[in-house]
Amino acid sequence: MAVHVKNMKELNKALQPVMMGMVDKLAERAYETLNYFLQEYYNSYDPVYYRRSYDFLHSAIKTEAKVVGNKVVASVYIDTDSMDNYYEATGEEVATWANQGTHGGTI
């Protein structure tokens, strides 16, 4: 079915469902990629000095697409606030160490 667009506001409205779908698909792809790398990080090391809580492995978050102003947005991120089972380390520190390629700190 053809849609007749008379101005930019109508074009924005007509494209919004398509953009919502595209942003959702892109967010899902980024989420899958993030989870892949988290799993690879866990697979790359077998700890000897500590027991894993798996908080970091399950910390990836993806939000649904939503309209914000004239944009469609979604978020994919590591929820460091949910990583609260670490001994003498914050979730932010654990994520930073992982980004630097270390496991369990700087020792």
CA distance 59 to 91: 9
The predicted pLDDT at position 5 comes to 81
The predicted pLDDT at position 106 comes to 63
Structural domain includes residue 105: no
Structural domain includes residue 69: yes
Structural domain includes residue 63: yes
Structural domain includes residue 62: yes
If one counts the domains in the chain, the total is 1
**Helix ranges, the chain (H):** 8-43, 91-99
Range of the domain at 33: 8-99
Q: Give CA angle at 58 (38, 89), nearest 5°.
A: 85
In the chain, what's the furthest Cα-to-Cα distance?
66
CA distance 58 to 78: 9
Structural domain includes residue 107: no
The predicted pLDDT at position 107 comes to 61
Query: Tell me: the pLDDT tens digits for 90-103?
Result: 999 999 999 988 88
Structural domain includes residue 15: yes
Q: Give 53: exposed, middle or buried? Use CB within 10 Å, 0-12, 13-18, 19+.
A: middle
The predicted pLDDT at position 24 comes to 97
Residue 101 three-state SS: coil
Query: Tell me: the pLDDT tens digits for 33-75?
Result: 999 999 999 999 887 777 788 899 999 999 999 999 889 999 9
Structural domain includes residue 1: no
Whether residue 1 is predicted with pLDDT greater than 70 in this model: the reply is no
Structural domain includes residue 3: no
The predicted pLDDT at position 36 comes to 98
The predicted pLDDT at position 10 comes to 86
